[in-house]
Amino acid sequence: MATITIAHNPSLTSEQLKGIFESKFGRKYEICTPLGIGTGFVIKQSDWTGVGIWLKQDRDRTVLKYHGLVPTGIARIILLLFTGPFGFLFLAAVTWKPLRAEIVEFVETSPELMGESARPELAAAGLSPRPRTDLAWLGFVALLAVPALAILIILKIGDHSRLFEDVPYPPEAKKTTSVPPPSYSARVSSAVESADGKAFRIEFENGPRLDCVRIPPGRIVMHNDSSGNESDNVKAGTYEIVIAKAFYMGIYEVTQEQYKAVMETNPSRFKGMKHPVEGVSVSDITVFCDRLSRQIGRTVRLPTEAEWEYACRAGTSTLFNTGESLDVSKANCGGSYINGTTRHGGGRDMTVPVGTFMPNDYGLYDMHGNVAEYCSDGKATHATEGGRSGRKGERKTITEPPIVRGGSWNDRAMDCRSSYRGFPYRVESCGFRVVIPLTE
């Protein structure tokens, strides 16, 4: 079985690698042991129990390599019943299309893990060496053809093409990701500021538009509320931040209509062109912003946490920009009793069209609930140079988890308050809105 180098980093743990996958692809992953197949560990999506990615270190523990795909959960039991222990080896030799894209993107977009010593090896072998065919497999596969076909139908696996195509490494390397190539179905027809400089509008040729409002400069005390709540996924101290420059922020969360106009795809679970897009990763959002930036000739990006909380509060110092309590009549949250300390029901259990509820004093809709919104900061970066100054705070490494703000349709109201910081734990709960800095 062919292997491919994942990382030249002996100190990289399985938990750190799990964090990298979650950060890159916006999904939850689990670590399990490859029972019946060998040493190392398996990383798999939490919501898919059929197959996982088998990784292990070489003998001197300096290189982490991909060794194939292995069955997990119920798939493992089915294989034992139909084919015995050899079924593990057979399924490990079969490729599943959803995981193929993740492995390719992971290897291609993680140069910081590869190290300079890995580059000559990859350049010589190519990113994706074609697996060698062992003739012994032919007879084995023939014996397993009938039960294997039944298993594949049950698991609805489908595409059995190879994991890596025989293509050279940069600059000609092909890249299989969840992001389509940059051939847009819709182009920007106009991108203009209002005469008074208080608004910015992007219009697409096929109809949708993206409206932004000017957020004035000012000061904010981050995480300043009286909740005493200890449920935050990510703790941060209280400190003052100066927002030195005004900026434009989308008045709505990016909708499925807007996302599809730029990306030609709609990954959302809850379909509706006026609903916020969800099911997107940080990588997807980065491509969206880059494409839109090139079309309008202005920077489009995620807000920093400082910008987000400042815009959300809109001059308030209460738990929510609506006051000290929040319920399903004021936002699309999971429902609650007083102050939202209990998930009580009454929620809609899905997203709703943007702008369903009243805006805050800056004219921003759905800052509480609907979808939790990605920020450009990570867990640690927020409290350092990017966060405290109000400047753009990028995550330092891909191992640093992204932060979401504002809570979602699935969160109790207390987890939708202005100061709450969380990790993206459900893909269909997370979306984003954009910021466009003012030109000098």
The per-residue pLDDT for range 356-368, each reduced to its tens digit, is 999 999 999 999 9
pLDDT of residue 75 exceeding 50, the answer is yes
The pTM of the full predicted model, rounded to 2 decimals, is: 0.57
| CB-CB contact of 38 with 56 (8 Å) | yes
**Helical spans, DSSP H, in 193-281:** 256-263
Residue where one domain finishes, among candidates 139, 155, 171: 155
Among candidate residues 283, 281, 280, the one with its CA nearest the CA of residue 110: 283
Find the mean pLDDT for residues 363-387: 77
> Each residue of 208-223: pLDDT tens digit?
999 999 999 999 988 6
Residue at 109 is within a domain: yes
- Are 231 and 312 in a shared domain? yes
Q: Are strands 247-250 and 209-215 parallel, antiparallel or unpaired?
A: antiparallel
**Residue 113 shares a structural domain with residue 261:** no
In a domain, 432, yes or no: yes
Burial group, residue 402, by CB count within 10 angstroms (0-12, 13-18, 19+): buried
- Count the Cβ atoms, other than its own, within 10 Å of residue 230: 6
pLDDT score recorded for residue 2: 42
* Cβ atoms of residues 328 and 348 within 8 Å: yes
The structural domain count of the chain equals 2
Q: Are 22 and 16 in contact (CB under 8 A)?
A: no
> Is 203 contained in some domain?
yes
Whether 165 maps to a domain, the answer reads: no
Decide if pLDDT at 303 tops 80. yes
Whether pLDDT at 171 is above 90? no
Same domain, 142 and 194: no
In a domain, 178, yes or no: no
- Among 135, 155, 175, give the residue marking a domain's end: 155
Using pLDDT thresholds of 50, 70 and 90, give the confidence band for residue 177.
very low
Q: Specify whether 128 is located in the same domain as 206.
A: no
Asked whether residue 211 is domain-assigned, the answer is: yes
* Pair (145, 203) in one structural domain: no
**What whole-number distance in Å separates Cα of residue 359 and Cα of residue 361?**
7
| Domain housing 322 | 188-437
Q: How far apart are the first and last CA of the chain?
A: 56
Residue 234's CATH number: 3.90.1580.10
Residue identified by tokens 């990113």 is 127
Among the candidates 113, 140, 155, a domain finishes at 155
104, 18: one domain:
yes
Same domain, 149 and 296: no
Q: Helices 97-108 and 14-25: crossing angle, nearest 10°?
A: 100
Q: What integer pLDDT is reported at residue 426 of this predicted model?
A: 67
Number of residues that make up the chain = 440
Q: Are residues 247 and 141 in the same domain?
A: no
